[in-house]
């Protein structure tokens, strides 16, 4: 993985030291809250319902064991013993004290981490396919371009005060596991006519109160032109994006208002100017960054691996877990493994300090010392020998991360909601817990098949409800929590916006509604047809009819 150079280290240390001074001045009363608030937000420190919340960037979701152990230490020493992995591949701590923030940032800087650009109207943490570098269907490693964008966008003076926040996602495969079409800029690595690798550029996707699937504005961008083209997009947005209305300030609104064609024309016009400058990255610099993502030293293993096949044939629970939580790897004899942070009745994305340390130990033992965070709020060990899977499964069971439910009905995304978040209107976590308990039987989940439920506690959509096959949005109606249900959203390469089925439901009702929707699907599906495929074939009406029958 990428290792800081002197420049990276210097800017993070300088920022940490500056923030220590700013906190001291705030505590002495030399800075007002109005002056201090933007400074703390620039370091990822929010104020939530019960305490300050610190959001720490995990660039494209990649963590070393050293970093994960440090996060565990911070959880134990400065928080209440746990952290929350987010849909932006970051981690949040919920119980932070302002007076301890300088020490926390100093400790994070020791392991090349920080909270810079995890808040504010700037370019946020770049997210990427969590199977980067190991997926058999990958054309090229998305971490390389993600790291280039991270470096280019960090403290970029021109893009520090954008009209609104700005999110990038990158996929190196046709199967989009990074939801690129839901981002302000989505990048897909593709092949050009001559077989050379370049970029497909999507712009103007986003969730929130106006869900929009991004527009494809450039089917192929030559690799060496990336930064000048991105700069042209950012400049067009920075100049014309709306600053008068926070609800209309994201780039998706500008693209929609201008129309994708006119927006593209303006970008290309700007690009024609910028291309003449030397903003693009020299090839040798890209190569230097690429070397950080060189594959580890794999053993030569002939597949199938007899021990693994034997363990599956002898242990049904392990076989089931292998089917749901173990993923193909480009190297024979290896696999990528998803650690489910969605135990039945648990809090999606939460991990205790002990669990983090347990995962770090397992990553060290089985996966070259690296861990990935997924935007679905799980963790991944990307490079596990198939021969080690049975032992790994047993050890994961010990720490509570071996639920065989990846991609199934209880692998739910849920934002912190009204239990923690000052923006929320309704609770998300209890709804996810109750749905997962309702579908506790893993055989039943397995029979239902791939189904993504995503829950947000307010219209800001941190829980990605618009992209859920079943989406749930919590709202406040005269002091009561109500939940609206959408169907047919998707975050993959067939991205679509979920459709609202009708009036909302109480917390008790919405659990029954989800079950009703699932049962309706089971009654309608063709053999081997997934929930999303059935929904797309039959539309919303049969689901609506069943849900509202007798209401």
Partner 1 sequence: MAKTKEQLPKILTANDLLTGATVYYTSAGTWSSHAADALVANSPEAIDSLTKAAADAFAANLVIDQAIVDIDAGGEIRPARLREMIRATGPTVRLDLNKSISPIK
What sections of 315-450 are H helices per DSSP? 316-325, 353-366, 389-399, 429-438, 442-448
Of the two residues 241 and 463, which places its CB atom closer to partner 1 in the complex?
A: 463
- CA 323 to chain centroid, in Å, comes to 23
> What tokens were used for 133?
């570098």
> What tokens were used for 55?
């959001």
Provide the 3-class DSSP secondary structure of residue 352: strand
Of the two residues 65 and 453, which places its CB atom closer to partner 1 in the complex?
A: 453
Of the two residues 69 and 427, which places its CB atom closer to partner 1 in the complex?
A: 427
Residues of this chain that interact with partner 1 (CB under 8 A) are 26-27, 29, 33, 47-52, 80, 96-99, 347, 418-420, 422, 424, 427, 429-430, 433, 479, 481
Min CB(342)–partner 1 separation in Å: 14
Of the two residues 48 and 378, which places its CB atom closer to partner 1 in the complex?
A: 48
Min CB(415)–partner 1 separation in Å: 12
Of the two residues 105 and 347, which places its CB atom closer to partner 1 in the complex?
A: 347
Say if residues 282 and 223 touch (Cβ distance below 8 Å). Answer: no
SS3 content of the chain, % helix, strand, coil (to 5): 45, 20, 40
Picking from 341, 329, 403, 311, the residue whose alpha carbon sits closest to that of residue 366 is 329
Min CB(317)–partner 1 separation in Å: 27
Of the two residues 93 and 159, which places its CB atom closer to partner 1 in the complex?
A: 93
Min CB(467)–partner 1 separation in Å: 23
Min CB(172)–partner 1 separation in Å: 36
Min CB(247)–partner 1 separation in Å: 21
Of the two residues 97 and 239, which places its CB atom closer to partner 1 in the complex?
A: 97
User: SS3 string of 251-314?
Assistant: HHHHHHHHCHHHHHHHHHHHHHHHCCCCCCCCHHHHHHHHHCCCCCCCCCCCCCCHHHHHHHHH
Min CB(114)–partner 1 separation in Å: 20
Of the two residues 104 and 230, which places its CB atom closer to partner 1 in the complex?
A: 104
Q: Is 263 left (phi over 0), alpha (psi -120 to 50) or beta?
A: alpha
> How far is it, in rounded angstroms, from Cα 185 to Cα 74?
32
Of the two residues 432 and 452, which places its CB atom closer to partner 1 in the complex?
A: 432
Question: Tokens 């032109």 correspond to what residue?
Answer: 225
Of the two residues 54 and 267, which places its CB atom closer to partner 1 in the complex?
A: 54
Of the two residues 5 and 99, which places its CB atom closer to partner 1 in the complex?
A: 99
Min CB(74)–partner 1 separation in Å: 16
Min CB(321)–partner 1 separation in Å: 26
Min CB(108)–partner 1 separation in Å: 18
Min CB(3)–partner 1 separation in Å: 33
Say if residues 548 and 502 touch (Cβ distance below 8 Å). Answer: yes
In sequence order, the β-bridge partners of residue 83 are 351
> How far is it, in rounded angstroms, from Cα 12 to Cα 344?
39
In this structure, what are the phi and psi dihedrals at residue 524, rounded to the nearest 5 degrees?
-100, -20
- No. of helices (H) and no. of strands (E), the chain: 18, 20
Can the peptide bond before residue 304 be classed as cis, meaning omega within 30 degrees of 0?
A: yes
User: SS3 string of 101-165?
Assistant: HHHHHHHHHHCCCCCCCCCCCCECCCEECCCCCCCCCECCCHHHHHHHHHHHHCCCHHHCCCCCC
Torsion of CA 124, 251, 86, 418, to 10 degrees: 120
């Amino acid at each position: 993985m990428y290792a800081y150079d002197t420049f990276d280290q210097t800017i993070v240390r300088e920022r940490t030291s500056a923030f220590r001074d700013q906190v001291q001045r705030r505590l002495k009363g030399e800075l007002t809250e109005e002056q201090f608030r933007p400074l703390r937000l620039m370091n990822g420190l929010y104020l939530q319902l019960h305490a300050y919340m610190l959001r720490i960037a995990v660039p494209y979701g990649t963590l070393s064991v050293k970093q994960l152990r440090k996060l565990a230490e911070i959880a134990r020493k400065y928080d209440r013993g746990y952290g929350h992995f987010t849909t932006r591949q970051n981690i949040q701590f919920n119980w932070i004290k302002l007076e301890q923030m300088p020490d926390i940032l100093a400790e994070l800087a020791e392991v090349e981490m920080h909270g810079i650009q995890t808040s504010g109207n700037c370019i946020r943490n770049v997210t990427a396919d969590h199977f980067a570098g190991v997926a058999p269907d990958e054309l090229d490693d998305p971490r390389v371009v993600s790291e280039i964008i991270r470096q280019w966008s960090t403290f970029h003076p021109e893009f520090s005060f954008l009209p609104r926040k700005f999110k990038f996602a990158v996929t190196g495969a046709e199967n989009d596991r990074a939801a690129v079409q839901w981002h302000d800029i989505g990048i897909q690595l593709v092949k050009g006519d001559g077989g050379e690798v370049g970029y497909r550029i999507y712009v103007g996707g986003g969730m929130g109160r106006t869900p929009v699937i991004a527009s494809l504005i450039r089917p192929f961008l030559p690799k060496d032109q990336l930064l000048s083209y991105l700069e042209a997009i950012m400049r067009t947005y920075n100049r014309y994006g709306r600053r008068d209305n926070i609800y209309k300030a994201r780039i998706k609104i500008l693209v929609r208002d201008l129309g994708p064609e006119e927006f593209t024309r303006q970008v290309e016009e700007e690009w024609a100017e910028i291309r003449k400058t030397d903003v693009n990255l020299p090839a040798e610099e890209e190569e230097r960054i690429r070397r950080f993502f060189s594959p580890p030293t794999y053993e030569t293993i002939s597949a199938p691996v007899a021990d693994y096949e034997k363990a599956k044939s002898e242990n049904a629970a392990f076989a089931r877990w292998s089917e749901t939580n173990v993923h193909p790897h480009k190297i024979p004899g290896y696999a990528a493994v998803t650690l489910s942070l969605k135990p039945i009745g648990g809090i999606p994305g939460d991990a205790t300090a002990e669990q983090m340390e347990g995962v770090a130990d397992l990553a060290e033992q089985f996966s070259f010392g690296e861990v990935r965070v997924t935007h679905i709020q799980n963790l991944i060990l990307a490079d596990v020998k198939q021969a080690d899977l049975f032992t790994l499964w047993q050890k994961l069971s010990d720490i509570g991360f071996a639920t065989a439910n990846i991609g199934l009905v209880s692998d739910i995304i849920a934002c912190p909601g009204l239990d923690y978040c000052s923006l929320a209107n309704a609770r998300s976590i209890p709804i996810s817990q109750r749905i997962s308990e309702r579908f506790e039987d893993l055989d039943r989940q397995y029979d239902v098949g791939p189904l993504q439920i995503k829950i947000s506690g307010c219209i800001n959509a941190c829980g990605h409800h618009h992209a859920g096959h079943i989406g749930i949005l919590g709202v406040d109606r005269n002091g009561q929590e109500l939940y609206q249900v959408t169907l047919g959203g998707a975050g993959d390469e067939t991205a679509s916006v979920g459709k609202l089925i009708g009036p909302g439901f109480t917390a008790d009702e919405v659990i029954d509604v989800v079950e009703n929707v699932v049962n309706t699907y089971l009654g309608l599906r063709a053999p081997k047809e997934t929930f999303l495929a059935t929904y797309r074939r039959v539309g919303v009406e049969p689901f609506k009819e069943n849900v509202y029958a007798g209401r």
